[in-house]
Amino acid sequence: MAKKIQNNLLNELPLSAALKGDVQGWVNQGWSGVTQTTYELLAYWFNRGEEMDEKFHDCQRRAVETIIYCHEILGIETLQQAFERFTPDALAQSAALTDEVQSLPFAKYCLKMATGTGKTWVLAALLVWQYFNALNNEPASLADRRPGKYSTHFLLVAPGHEVLNRLLDMFLGKHDPKTGNRDKSKSDFERPLFMPEGERFRNRFHLQVLGPADIRPNLTPPDEPFVYITNWQQFRLNESSNLWDQLTGADVEEQPRGEIIADFLSEYPDLIIFNDEAHHVHGAKTAKGEELVWRKFLTALCNRMAEKRGSEKGVFLQIDFSATPFYGSAEKKEYFPHIVYDFDLVEAMRAMLVKQIFLEERQGMMGEKMDDLDVRAERAEADSEHRRGQVVGVSVSQKLLLDIGRKKMEQIAVEFREKGMDKKPVLFVLAENTEVADLVAEHVANLTDERGRNYRNQILVIHSEKKAR
């Protein structure tokens, strides 16, 4: 299991900080040194200007460029090489970090991107990059003419059924719960965004999609490119060292899923692993040893492929995606050492890529005096000293505040349209209880916007069970 590094070193994201300037300089030089295939894809993704109906966000672009820079330009083959090249001082300062990076026999990167910034599209672009470079038998870089640095074999790992189904939607189209079918013409890879049309790219993209149940004992490995999508809980290996159990068959009544999967994948010389929502597997340091299962499986798989293929073994690359790639919490939080790109929530909010929250204080838009407003609902007179009167309606002050909020929302909507932003502002109203919430909803439903349309079909009422204090 990975050793926790008890210092501030990993809160500084040393690899990400060291790579940032180098990647920017390389991009400024026009992606010099990449293969012809990579250059065509980068130019298609990022240099087509306004002609694109869909575009990658800047953060998605930089995440893709960072991985390509590490793989093609630097030719990094292990995490240790990355640290030795960019932050050797970090290794010198921490024996635990040194032990961690030395234990990995393959390259491993993590892209830290805030939720809502499009990690899945980054994953798709990187898969396309690997696929077509392998198909074209491209070398890793102009300086390295050896083939085998790319793959058309992909393992996509999810933490559970929800993410698993989202990944299947991405490849096969959204699942229709009524029919149980998927429309592959609506998969993400059918979007023009990911690859050029024609014989060189789109017409050659054929990827067999395998789900968790598709890998079975003695399955003949397919010859064509494939992506195997599963959850990491299936990776447990058979680790019994008890000779008596082995001879009597006590430990082989049911072959562990990890053994079946490892047998299947080790038939190939190369593999690209995409680990979606990676914090689930790396962060789960429980008595069951979830992370140990994951790490042992990948290490064992890498070693089996090397044993079977020897000098013919190709690329073995792991790329993690997570908005929260760290162990622990609060002051004990430690980020994963293999983070090579960081686009945090603050940057995502500045770029307007995630939902924004604007807390409006009592400030009028037309010069109203706000300090004396009572934001409580109108009530009948109390029938006793200890009980409040029954709610009878929305107060004048509440109506004024709701109207101010509505106008503010409409003002923000106009600003979004003027800036060409495909965003819609939302007015959030917190009422004193569920009864008042219903009255507020009815009042707002009868208000109209600048076009004379009411809001009746645009209101969502949520009743909380929390008691008022």
pLDDT at 304: 92
Return phi, psi of residue 159, to 5°. Answer: -80, -20
pLDDT grade, residue 285 (50/70/90)? Answer: very low
Query: Which of residues 384 and 404 earns the better pLDDT score?
Result: 404
pLDDT at 360: 54
Lowest mean pLDDT among 247-251, 299-303, 348-352, 375-379: 247-251
CA 344, 347, 350, 355: dihedral to nearest 10 degrees?
A: -10
The residue among 252, 244, 251, 213 whose CA lies nearest residue 229 is 213
Query: Which of residues 241 and 328 earns the better pLDDT score?
Result: 328
User: pTM to 2 decimals?
Assistant: 0.73
Direct distance between the N- and C-terminal alpha carbons of the chain, in angstroms, rounded to an integer: 46
Name 62's Cβ contacts closer than 8 Å, sequence gap at least 6. Answer: 23, 341, 343
Q: What is the pLDDT of residues 421-431, one digit of tens each?
A: 666 778 888 88
Instruction: Output b/e per residue, 358-391; b: 16+ Cβ within 10 A.
Output: eeeeeeeeeeeeeeebeeebbeeeeeeeeeeeeb
Phi-psi region of 447 (alpha: psi -120 to 50; beta: other; left: phi over 0): beta
Lowest mean pLDDT among 180-189, 221-230, 251-260, 427-436: 251-260
Is the distance from CB of 309 to CB of 98 less than 8 angstroms? no
pLDDT grade, residue 284 (50/70/90)? Answer: very low
pLDDT at 291: 56
Q: What is the pLDDT of residues 142-164, one digit of tens each?
A: 555 455 699 999 999 988 788 88
Return phi, psi of residue 209, to 5°. Answer: -105, 120
**Where are the domains positioned within the chain?**
9-350, 378-458
Please give the Cα distance from 166 to 118 (Å, whole number): 13
Is the distance from CB of 226 to CB of 153 less than 8 angstroms? yes
Return phi, psi of residue 316, to 5°. Answer: -135, 105
Whether 379 has a pLDDT exceeding 60, the answer reads yes
pLDDT at 337: 86
pLDDT at 247: 46
CA 371, 357, 400, 468: dihedral to nearest 10 degrees?
A: -70
